[in-house]
Structure 1
Amino acid sequence: ASSAAIYGSRGANGVVLVTTKLGKAGRSNVSAGVEYGVQEVTRKVPMMNAQQWINYYIDAHNNAWVDLNPAVNKASDPNSVRPSTYRIPDDFITNPQQFGTGTDWQDVMFRVAPSKNAQLSVSGGNEKTQFLFSGAYLDQQAVLDQNYYKRLALRTNIKHAVTSRLTVGMNLGATTVFDRTEGTQGKSDVISLAIQSDPIFPVYNENGNLGYRDPNSVWSKYIAYNDLNLWHPYSLTRFIHKQNKSFNTLATGYAEYYFTDDLKFRTSISGNLYNTRLNSYSIKNQGYGYSGLLPAEGNVQSSYMLNWLSENTLTYDKRFGDHSVNVLAGYSVQKQRDEFATVTSGSFPNDLVETLNAGVVTSGSSNATEWSMISYLARGQYNFRNNYFLSAAIRRDGSSRFGTNTRWGYFPSVSAGWLVSDEAFLKNIKAINSLKLRASYGVAGNNQIPNYGAISLLNASNYASGSSLASGLQIANIANTNLRWERTNQLNIGVDLRLLSDRISLTAEYYNSVTRDMLLNVPIPDITGFSTQLTNIGRMRNRGIELNLSTKNTTGKLLWTTEFNFSRN
């Protein structure tokens, strides 16, 4: 390398950035960077300590009992005559000091989380070949106990001119992620459980276990009080081993050939391969820290997705004096396959081996779906003196999701624009910097329905045959072989105006959109054996105006701008 330099800076959350520019070696550039940092929870939900919580618990139960029995003297009423819902543990009354200040469960579950991030890139080439190689690694520990996110990303771009008319290229990206991320499962999630956990309980009991359901622990007596939260957040982080692995590869190869300087053919094929695998193993009894003494259980979920797309276009781009023409014709085909499988095992003899073969498979399922689309398209664009603009396009799309005779849809569009401010009759009006009128009308299609929405599907269904149970099939839905594209016709009329050296900018637009043959699940009589059917029904219209006004009221050292927008639908 011809030169090297190192720069350091401190970012947010204590992040330290170190970047090394290794300079140039011939036509190549090399750069690398390393980032270290930490994250921590700076704001927590306020929580009561053990003594405050005990006082709250006693008052709440006494008040509830008196509210149910107004004549009762709560001070002289013994617990023994109360139903279990209103009882108070004797320790709370006779010796609450034994609990001390208790446990702050947020301090237990949240931590300072270090992160590391490193990048390396190399780029260069010559007149015929250009390339870029880059790699990045991220290791981010989460602020939540046992959670993390690790990612390795590699990318390469190569472009090569085979001849003066033929160019080929390839873009390839691969990403691998190993992570454990929780906190998204609502009230039963580990974060929610930590915030709700009662502060009187310790992190570990006297036997070294997590919880209060340990039958050999002095804390097990509190099981009799069903309004105490007898879970332990660690049972979901340290006694359930989880790891999610995902592998994502994106690749594109293309070739461009110029028949003439104005006529170009481009073909490309791209693919996206995505695999995920989730391994989960719940240790037997989960340290006595969850809702019950649960047996060990292992689960594996895997998914696979392959999407490939082939595009082929022929483009003619020519300028004739004041006239400019661009015409494109194309063909594309796309297909995607998704697969999913899950297997669960139980009856593990111990927790030494966590793979499913160490237990007994108790359940499993798998499925696979596919969809595909073929498209033909054409587009023409014309402008005269960069003053008048006209564009028209048409698509013919075929989708596998519709009925055999209704898979194809035609979607035309046309648009026009006029740059009025370049006309001679406005040239001398200096207050107007730009005035453009535009209008468009087009049709768009929607095929966002289940992959097999138009045909009848079969589900497994057992039935009685004599004294035994036999495997069978049942129809899962009603077919609709006439299911077709949902179509939206939309008209747009707009004006763009800039005044007084661009200090005032105004955009106004009117739109009218009508959607027909809407794809909806419609209720049908239950006598059919089903409650809904996917069909084309109904029409919806949206129309309205949108106004956007921007002004620069002052410029210079004092900058004052105003933004105003109004819409009515």
Structure 2
Amino acid sequence: IDALYLSTTPTRAIFDEDGNYTALDPITDGISPNYEADIQLKQDHNLETNILGNLYVEFRPWENMVFKSTFSPEINDFKRNRFNPGALPNNLIINDGGDARIDNALRVSYINENTLTYNKAIGENDNLTVLAGFTLQKTEFESSFSQSFGLSNDVTGFNNISFGADPTRNNLGSDYDSFQLASWLGRINYSLNDKYLFTVVGRVDGSSRFAPGNKYAFFPSGAFAWRLGEEDFIKNLGVFSNLKLRASYGLSGSQAIPSFRTLALLDAANTSINGTENPGVILGRPENPDLKWETTEQLDIGLEMGFFNSRLSVEVDYYQKNTKDLLLNAQLPRQTGFVSKLQNIGKVENRGMELLINSINVSNDDFQWSTSLTLSGNRNKVTDLGGVEFINLVTPAQQGG
């Protein structure tokens, strides 16, 4: 609901004595919207088309090996046509004519994932799984609009938007965005005696948002889990129904910046020469080829405990996360002619502990009752400001690894 409608005098008449829509507020005697006239006379047509797909192929080229490829496209097409006729009460009073606007936007994206998995049982209790994969993600977006004022008639509506007679207010514009992310992944899982679990992961991510030389980054990680509850010396205690120690360490990346921020930006600017306005361009943003991935190093250690046939379970986790090369805007000296510049600056440290307790109090065919308690303590600290006095950490986050 338009806020202007809410401020309209409740006793205002919709029609005058001659049956025409009213345009004046009876109390302020000023021009105010007539909501009934807007509903009946304005045109606002929206058409949005969404197409989603998911295709995949899977086959076994050799024994114990599976190849799978998926392709998931998404198309979003948006059109909106608006027309405010000159017959609106407000336009009749100021003799402004009608106005129209046409908006078009198209977003096309897809994700293609390809994996080759080898799984082999070794002996009675060992298992090996090796995975190699490649993922490609791409998004393209383009939009345009045209707006026209001073339309001389209401017959054609928004279909002849070029009829606008007010060139000082007529407007048009367009926008384009493109983004591509490519990832290569390798992972090895090994289970020894079904007690000791090892995982090693290596991935390379490449983002089109960075300049050549900084597009790609390597993010390795590893994890280990020990099922202590399967050891005889733990079983003999008769205390735990489940006991598992786990730890992981790895690197991940973020490329949470808009597209094309590494390129110089030219802004339109007019200058007056001998009293005549002449179009031109100025440097609106300097080139920024040194931007690179924001990197996070994270360590996790956890302990899982189960009691009374796992009717009571406890999980304790400790984590430490260090992030460097933060993608943030830093102020520039005034003599540069620019206010700020996106840079890799600063470091942040996050650490904390979490405790999760679950209990199954009653469980039968007629009644289920369980409780859950979560306690956490977290500490965030900026360890390096990157040579600036203040960093605004309220930024979007997009995980890249």
TM range, normalised to the smaller chain? 0.7 to 0.9
Instruction: Give the Cα separation in 2 of the matches to 1:308 and 1:451.
Output: 17
Question: Which residue in the other structure is 1:222 paired with?
Answer: 27
Structure 1 residues 193 and 311: CA distance shift in structure 2, 3 A: same
Query: How far apart are 1:523 and its partner, in Å?
Result: 1.0
Task: Find the partner of 1:534 among 324, 337, 342.
Answer: 342
Question: Which residue in the other structure is 2:128 paired with?
Answer: 325
For 1:305, give the aligned amino acid.
R
Instruction: Give the Cα separation in 1 of the matches to 2:329 and 2:127.
Output: 48
Query: How far apart are 1:359 and its partner, in Å?
Result: 4.9
Retained in 1: the 8 A contact 2:145–2:173?
yes
Instruction: Give the Cα separation in 2 of the matches to 1:390 and 1:210.
Output: 77
Question: Which residue in the other structure is 2:160 paired with?
Answer: 357
Query: How far apart are 1:479 and its partner, in Å?
Result: 1.6
Query: How far apart are 1:405 and its partner, in Å?
Result: 1.6
> After the TM superposition, which of the residue ranges 407-416 and 354-363 deviates more from structure 2?
354-363
Instruction: Give the Cα separation in 2 of the matches to 1:293 and 1:509.
Output: 70
SS at match of 2:213: coil
Pair 1:256-2:58 in alignment: yes
Query: How far apart are 1:408 and its partner, in Å?
Result: 1.1
Retained in 1: the 8 A contact 2:23–2:89?
no
Pair 1:338-2:141 in alignment: yes
For 1:355, give the aligned amino acid.
F
For 2:249, give the aligned amino acid.
Y
For 2:127, give the aligned amino acid.
S
Structure 1 residues 441 and 211: CA distance shift in structure 2, 3 A: farther
Task: Find the partner of 2:12 among 176, 201, 206.
Answer: 201
Query: How far apart are 1:438 and its partner, in Å?
Result: 0.9
Question: Which residue in the other structure is 1:172 paired with?
Answer: none
Task: Find the partner of 1:315 among 117, 140, 145.
Answer: 117
Task: Find the partner of 1:509 among 300, 307, 317.
Answer: 317
Question: Structure 1, unaligned stretches of length 5 or more?
Answer: 1-188, 214-219
Instruction: Give the Cα separation in 1 of the matches to 2:152 and 2:113.
Output: 55
Question: Which residue in the other structure is 1:499 paired with?
Answer: 307
Query: How far apart are 1:274 and its partner, in Å?
Result: 1.6
Deviation track 1:243-279 (CA, whole Å, cap 9, x = no partner) reads 2211122234333231222122233433222211111
Query: How far apart are 1:331 and its partner, in Å?
Result: 2.1
Retained in 1: the 8 A contact 2:82–2:158?
no
Retained in 1: the 8 A contact 2:101–2:161?
no
Pair 1:266-2:63 in alignment: no
Pair 1:410-2:218 in alignment: yes
Retained in 1: the 8 A contact 2:357–2:373?
yes
Instruction: Give the Cα separation in 2 of the matches to 1:517 and 1:385.
Output: 41
CA RMSD of aligned residues (A): 2.6
Retained in 2: the 8 A contact 1:285–1:294?
no
For 1:331, give the aligned amino acid.
F
Indicate the structure whose relative CO is greater, using CA pairs within 8 Å and at least 6 residues apart: 2
Question: Which residue in the other structure is 1:13 paired with?
Answer: none
Instruction: Give the Cα separation in 1 of the matches to 2:344 and 2:45.
Output: 43
SS at match of 1:425: helix
Deviation track 1:444-479 (CA, whole Å, cap 9, x = no partner) reads 111111111112111222223344222211112122
Pair 1:425-2:228 in alignment: no
Instruction: Give the Cα separation in 1 of the matches to 2:235 and 2:128.
Output: 26
Instruction: Give the Cα separation in 2 of the matches to 1:209 and 1:429.
Output: 91
What TM-score, normalized by structure 2, do the two folds share?
0.84
Task: Find the partner of 1:472 among 264, 280, 297.
Answer: 280
Task: Find the partner of 1:303 among 91, 105, 108.
Answer: 105
Structure having the higher Rg: 1
Structure 1 residues 434 and 211: CA distance shift in structure 2, 3 A: farther
Instruction: Give the Cα separation in 2 of the matches to 1:432 and 1:234.
Output: 72
Pair 1:442-2:250 in alignment: yes
**What is the percentage of aligned positions where both structures have the same residue?**
28
SS at match of 1:357: helix
For 2:139, give the aligned amino acid.
Q
For 1:567, give the aligned amino acid.
S
> After the TM superposition, which of the residue ranges 548-557 and 500-509 deviates more from structure 2?
548-557
Task: Find the partner of 2:266 among 432, 449, 458.
Answer: 458
For 1:562, give the aligned amino acid.
T
Question: Structure 2, unaligned stretches of length 5 or more?
Answer: 165-169, 379-401
Structure 1 residues 472 and 320: CA distance shift in structure 2, 3 A: same
Structure 1 residues 468 and 562: CA distance shift in structure 2, 3 A: same
Retained in 2: the 8 A contact 1:344–1:356?
no
Instruction: Give the Cα separation in 2 of the matches to 1:288 and 1:206.
Output: 17
For 1:211, give the aligned amino acid.
T
Question: Which residue in the other structure is 1:518 paired with?
Answer: 326
Instruction: Give the Cα separation in 2 of the matches to 1:502 and 1:475.
Output: 65
SS at match of 2:310: coil
Query: How far apart are 1:558 and its partner, in Å?
Result: 6.7
Retained in 2: the 8 A contact 1:496–1:507?
yes
Query: How far apart are 1:348 and its partner, in Å?
Result: 2.2
Deviation track 1:351-386 (CA, whole Å, cap 9, x = no partner) reads 222124155252111122222222211111111233
Instruction: Give the Cα separation in 1 of the matches to 2:367 and 2:135.
Output: 53
Retained in 2: the 8 A contact 1:209–1:288?
no
Retained in 1: the 8 A contact 2:354–2:375?
yes
Retained in 2: the 8 A contact 1:345–1:356?
no
Query: How far apart are 1:487 and its partner, in Å?
Result: 0.6
For 2:202, give the aligned amino acid.
I
Higher strand share: 2
SS at match of 2:27: helix
Instruction: Give the Cα separation in 2 of the matches to 1:475 and 1:262.
Output: 58
Structure 1 residues 438 and 285: CA distance shift in structure 2, 3 A: farther
Structure 1 residues 296 and 441: CA distance shift in structure 2, 3 A: same
